[in-house]
Structure 1
Amino acid sequence: MTAYFERLDDSRFRATRCVSGAWNVEEQHVAPALGLLTHSVERAFADRLADGRQLSRLSFDILGVLPIDVVEVDTRMVRPGRTVELVEAALSHGGRPAVTLRAWLVAPHETGELAGDAFPAMPSIDELDEWTGFDEWPGEFVRTVDVFGRRLEQGRAQAWLRPRIPLLEHEEISPTVRLLSVLDIANGITPRFPPQTTLFPNVDLTAHLFTQPQGEWLGFDTTVAYGPTGLGVTHTVLHDERGPIGTSMQSLMVRPGR
């Protein structure tokens, strides 16, 4: 297969084996599904984006597992407006919602003189070695992504990622969609304990962008924390090759033993 999904019509898509893994190789890794939802939002509201509106916050809730099968995406406007709009998308299988997205579209304003951030810089791709940290994960999806990175300490890593195959065959996607197609990988970049001994699936993912991504490579500066009562978070500062572009958070269910 040469893409994560095959388009069947305007709203239905067939997942390929390239989405397989990581907790169960017979289920979809949710990362490409998040990209598919984002792509569907961009297509459904292309007129808004053409007017200059920007994706500001994308909040995904993962309602259940997805088999490697046909899925359907529905989109709708929740809150229209002149300067800010809230849109929604839902991905379902067999009539059962599996992932939902709510995204804010924000009109642009000139703030070049105010732009800046205090996030730590990432090393360049050339400064990092090819990443082998995904060898401990099963499934095809993690093997479709180019990764260069380094582990700084337990639960902390920096890495540059780029998917090697398209989200959809013969269909252009934006750099934002490319980012969301791999962003869920952050939870598996630097687990505090190996997935063979510890479960830590995420139930959501929320990305906040303060500038729109550019280019193919995406930088992840990721920190993982587990609490004493089965909760955890994966926090990532997102970069493109210009510098920081936003952050993401994933809420984890941590369970010892498998």
Structure 2
Amino acid sequence: MNTGSYYEPIDEHRYKPTAHAGGAWDTDEQHFSPLGGLIVHAIDRHLAARPDSGPDSGPVLSRISFDILGRLALDECEIRVETLRPGRTIELLEAVALIAGRPVVRARAWLLAPGDTTAVAGGAEGRLTPPQALKSWQMSDVWPGGYIASLDVRPLAEPQPGRTTAWISTPLDLVAGQTASPLASYIALVDTANGIAVRESPTAWMFPNVDLTIHLHRRPGGRWTGLDTTVTFGPTGQGITSTVLHDAEGPVGHAQQILTVRPL
């Protein structure tokens, strides 16, 4: 499971998931994490196709929210992107992923104009212990599925119920034959957060997330996604997975996932 990609392109808008995209709750479904990265990849391609696009021009994706609308079958998917609110300094895009013609994920991304704010930058926490100094953890001992099996997971300490900090990476490409941006590759690993700090055994309880919202105060880089994650279960069937996102240089933003918690 250490070569290949999560998706193979069919045409400009359609992609076929490989076995590496197989889910954890159901191995016949797609894990949302690589699909989230694929949606960002589609947004990148949409922006690159504009006449005024360039490697260092245009607004920067600063928040993206994904709503998971239904079952993510391990089948061909189509992604359509449109601009909802154009603007020179602030822009809103929407991307919809469809399987068998039915919307299964709806994402909205706010893009903000870049500028030099180095003089006032601050407020973030310190860096995590680098992944090169840590040992790998077999996350597949807890979760099944091709996606989980494809990961290199390196926790800073022994994972605890509801609390884990870990680095995640993968040797796989996001899309075969296409170069994904560092941002798309980074976001393709963020949804893993809900699986690294389980409060209860997934063989006794279900706690899938129905959304994922990511806020970024700077653009992440490198091949590792750092997840400083806390999971909270409430008393009436809801939970929240909250994560401070890191790259090798330090924090880059936050992610939140709302969970539906119920016994199996």
Structure 2 length normalisation: TM-score? 0.93
Q: Which is further off, 190-199 or 42-51?
A: 42-51
* Structure 1: distance between partners of 2:234 and 2:125: 25
Q: Which residue of 2 aligns with 1:147?
A: 153
Instruction: Give, as a single letter, the amino acid of the residue that structure 2 aligns with 1:254.
Output: V
* Pairwise CA RMSD: 1.4
Q: How far did 1:135 drift?
A: 1.3
Q: Which of 78, 87, 91 pairs up with 1:81?
A: 87
Moved over 6 A (4+): none
Q: How far did 1:119 drift?
A: 2.7
Q: Which residue of 2 aligns with 1:34?
A: 36
Q: Which residue of 1 aligns with 2:225?
A: 218
* Structure 1: distance between partners of 2:178 and 2:218: 24
Q: Which residue of 1 aligns with 2:245?
A: 238
Matches within 5 A, 1:109-128: 109-128=115-134
Q: Which residue of 1 aligns with 2:6?
A: 4
Q: Which of 151, 160, 165 pairs up with 2:167?
A: 160
Where does the alignment leave 5 or more consecutive residues of structure 2 unmatched?
none
1:73-132: CA deviation from partner (whole Å, max 9, x where unpaired): 111000001100000100001110001110011001211011112435422213322112
Other structure's SS at 1:28 match: coil
Please say if residues 34 and 181 of structure 1, whose CA atoms lie closer than 8 Å, have aligned partners that are also in contact. yes
Matched, 1:136 2:142: yes
Please say if residues 53 and 107 of structure 1, whose CA atoms lie closer than 8 Å, have aligned partners that are also in contact. yes
Please say if residues 66 and 212 of structure 2, whose CA atoms lie closer than 8 Å, have aligned partners that are also in contact. yes
Q: Which of 181, 186, 190 pairs up with 1:174?
A: 181
Please say if residues 42 and 49 of structure 1, whose CA atoms lie closer than 8 Å, have aligned partners that are also in contact. no
* Structure 1: distance between partners of 2:127 and 2:7: 34
1:49-79: CA deviation from partner (whole Å, max 9, x where unpaired): 7424111001000001111111111110000
Equivalenced residue count is 257
Please say if residues 7 and 13 of structure 1, whose CA atoms lie closer than 8 Å, have aligned partners that are also in contact. yes
Q: How far did 1:30 drift?
A: 1.0
Please say if residues 125 and 250 of structure 2, whose CA atoms lie closer than 8 Å, have aligned partners that are also in contact. no
Other structure's SS at 2:154 match: strand
* Structure 2: distance between partners of 1:49 and 1:75: 19
Identity of aligned residues (%): 43
Q: How far did 1:152 drift?
A: 5.5
1:187-240: CA deviation from partner (whole Å, max 9, x where unpaired): 000110111111000000000000001111111100000000000000111111
Q: Which of 167, 183, 186 pairs up with 2:190?
A: 183
* Structure 1: distance between partners of 2:39 and 2:188: 9
Q: Which of 250, 253, 256 pairs up with 2:260?
A: 253
Please say if residues 212 and 255 of structure 2, whose CA atoms lie closer than 8 Å, have aligned partners that are also in contact. yes
Matched, 1:55 2:57: no
* Structure 2: distance between partners of 1:223 and 1:146: 20
